[in-house]
Amino acid sequence: MRTLASDTVKFEDKEVGLLGWVHARRDHGKLVFIDLRDRSGLVQVVFGPQVKEAADLRLEYVISVSGTVKKRPEDMVNDKIPTGHFEVQAGKLEIINKAEALPISVDTDGYEIKEEMRLKYRYLDLRRERLKKNLIMRHKVTKFIRGFLSERGFIEVETPILSKSTPEGARDYLVPSRLENGKFYALPQSPQQYKQLLMVAGLEKYFQIPRCFRDEDTRGDRQPEFTQLDLEMSFATQDDVLNLTEELYKSIVKELFPEKAISALDKNGKFPRLKYAEIMKEYGSDKPDLRKDKNNPNELAFVFITDFPMFEKKEDGSLGAVHHPFTLPTTDTSLDPVRFQREDYPEYKELMKILDSEEKSLGLLAYQYDFVCNGYEIGGGSIRTYNKHLLKKVFERLGNSPEAVEKQFGHMLEAFDYGVPPHGGIAMGLDRFLTILRNEPNIREVIAFPKTGDGRDPMMDAPSEVDKKQLDELGLEIKKSKS
């Protein structure tokens, strides 16, 4: 019967069986001491001269040990580990698998090792305590989220990974179709359209913890693929979405990170809600860091940013959506968003006239909100446009022809013909939030198998070339880039 290293403290003077890795080795004359590591932690094992196989032990060997748990002598206690008052006096040792000398050390925090090497040998890198704890806490956070939302009537739904390429902002990763040469799937930048279609389907409360893909330049808080918490609600106001988000994140911190203190709350003890124009004027950034002491890693300052512009001028002079095209535009965010989608209301007619002019459109606001923590954007969402004529007008204002809108988004426009409820939602980046919670320098430290800063996977040697036969099956030919 296997005993985990951390549980040996429960079995004083009893026999246990351990399985794990040799984390450290020390020779003291006739005695050999090792630290045995398993998923639960470390425990010291002592081999006497009768266990001759101990002489062959080397770092990272996989072994099986049986022996008796004893209290350590007072002068041998190690208060740095939970099992430090005990040791296992081994009676039997079996070497299950040997290990070559490791190309990287795994008994430090790893920051001193070049990232290229750490990612090339990520399966070794993940043996270090810091990264193991990061993944354990990631598991606990996602488990907590699932329970929290499920208790409040949300349904977790998986949406497709192979989808359609549509112009929503970032570049898509394309997947060629073998059965229909010349046609492509796209990996989803987010489940945006699917979650809105789930509102059309009548689910009312949806959530998912999906992988998302964007072909854009990487940096410390960005990866080609990332994980977010995605949720959508029917018949919901902006207050409904923000209140739920605040309750969830306060609960995560309270239950899983009690050492963290939430600061910069408003007079009602809630996350502050600041308007975009105000914070840009005061802080010069739409991601303000509101911490009182920015050198205190256990301080968390959350803030919601509201009242964003609907449109912005891009570098090439064209018009772009600040959030995304499905966000509801408005002349005044204090008004009921339903009014802007009822075709018999004056507000709707005025909005459609404004959208006829690019200059006037730049003055529109949006029912958009961002979620910021310690100067990092960790989420964003909006109340959505569900009136097909208004949505089509927004796409055309963004420079798409009516024919292109129908081709790219005809499925959404048709769906909105069949009784779509008012709805809104938010998506929160789990990688960024966990990076903050774990006091890490970048999101690669909280992802099991991340890419490098320039989007490569040194361990799998990806991206890589493919066989010409595969290209022929897909009807593709490689054309060398002029750059």
- Write out pLDDT tens, residues 436-457: 999 999 999 999 999 998 899 9
Structure tokens at 353: 């006239």
Which residues are CB-contacts of 37 (< 8 A; sequence separation ≥ 6)?
Answer: 5, 20, 21, 22, 23, 127
Res 218 pLDDT > 70: no
What are the distances in angstroms from CA 444 to CA 115, 163, 428, 432?
10, 26, 17, 10
Which residue pairs from 263-271 have beta carbons closer than 8 angstroms and sit at least 24 positions apart in sequence? 263/290, 263/291, 263/292, 263/299, 263/300, 263/301, 264/290, 264/291, 264/292, 264/301, 264/302, 264/303, 270/246, 271/242, 271/246, 271/302, 271/303, 271/304
Which residues are CB-contacts of 208 (< 8 A; sequence separation ≥ 6)?
Answer: 156, 157, 158, 159, 191, 195, 229, 230, 231
Per-residue pLDDT of 80-90, as tens digits, reads 999 999 999 99
Stretch 22-39: mean pLDDT, rounded?
95
Res 355 pLDDT > 90: yes
Confidence of residue 171 (pLDDT cuts 50, 70, 90): confident
If you compute the radius of gyration of the chain from its CA atoms, what whole number of angstroms results? 28
Confidence of residue 161 (pLDDT cuts 50, 70, 90): very high
Stretch 323-338: mean pLDDT, rounded?
93
Candidates 3.90.1150.10, 3.30.70.270, 3.40.190.10, 3.30.930.10; correct CATH number of 123-328+367-386+421-446?
A: 3.30.930.10
Res 220 pLDDT > 70: no
Res 221 pLDDT > 80: no
Structure tokens at 55: 């002489």
Q: Which part of the chain has CATH 2.40.50.140?
A: 5-97
Res 70 pLDDT > 90: yes
User: Phi/psi of residue 362, each to 5°?
Assistant: -65, -15
Q: Given this model, what pLDDT does residue 169 score? A: 64
Stretch 22-33: mean pLDDT, rounded?
94
Stretch 53-68: mean pLDDT, rounded?
97
Which residues are CB-contacts of 264 (< 8 A; sequence separation ≥ 6)?
Answer: 272, 290, 291, 292, 301, 302, 303
- CA–CA dist 217, 454 (Å, integer): 7
Proportion of the chain above pLDDT 90, given as a percent:
92
**Position with higher pLDDT, 354 vs 28:** 354
Res 309 pLDDT > 90: yes
Q: Are 21 and 60 in contact (CB under 8 A)?
A: yes
Q: Given this model, what pLDDT does residue 168 score? A: 63
Q: Are 337 and 422 in contact (CB under 8 A)?
A: yes
**Side-chain half-sphere CA neighbours of 88 within 13 A:** 32
What is the distance, to the nearest Å, from the Cα of residue 260 to the centroid of all Cα atoms in its chain? 20
Stretch 288-310: mean pLDDT, rounded?
96
Q: Given this model, what pLDDT does residue 145 score? A: 98
Q: Are 198 and 205 in contact (CB under 8 A)?
A: no
Q: Tell me the pairing of strands 184-187 and 62-71.
A: unpaired
Q: Are 197 and 415 in contact (CB under 8 A)?
A: yes
- Which amino acid is located at 148 in the chain? F
Which residue pairs from 407-413 have beta carbons closer than 8 angstroms and sit at least 24 positions apart in sequence? 408/164, 408/166, 408/167, 409/166, 411/193, 412/193, 412/196, 412/197, 412/388, 413/388
Res 217 pLDDT > 90: no
Stretch 338-343: mean pLDDT, rounded?
89
Backbone conformation region of residue 462, classed left if phi is above 0, alpha if psi is from -120 to 50, else beta: beta
- CA–CA dist 173, 458 (Å, integer): 20
CATH class of 5-97: mainly beta
Proportion of the chain above pLDDT 70, given as a percent:
98
Which residues are CB-contacts of 351 (< 8 A; sequence separation ≥ 6)?
Answer: 329, 330, 331, 340, 364, 390
- CA–CA dist 439, 230 (Å, integer): 24
Q: Which part of the chain has CATH 3.30.930.10?
A: 123-328+367-386+421-446
Which residues are CB-contacts of 26 (< 8 A; sequence separation ≥ 6)?
Answer: 32, 33, 34
Whose CA is closest to 115, among 210, 211, 39, 218?
218
Structure tokens at 237: 């106001």
Q: Are 133 and 115 in contact (CB under 8 A)?
A: no
Q: Given this model, what pLDDT does residue 219 score? A: 67
Res 357 pLDDT > 70: yes
User: Across all residues in the chain, what is the average pLDDT?
Assistant: 95
Stretch 241-255: mean pLDDT, rounded?
98
- Cis check for the bond before 463: say yes or no (omega within 30 of 0): yes
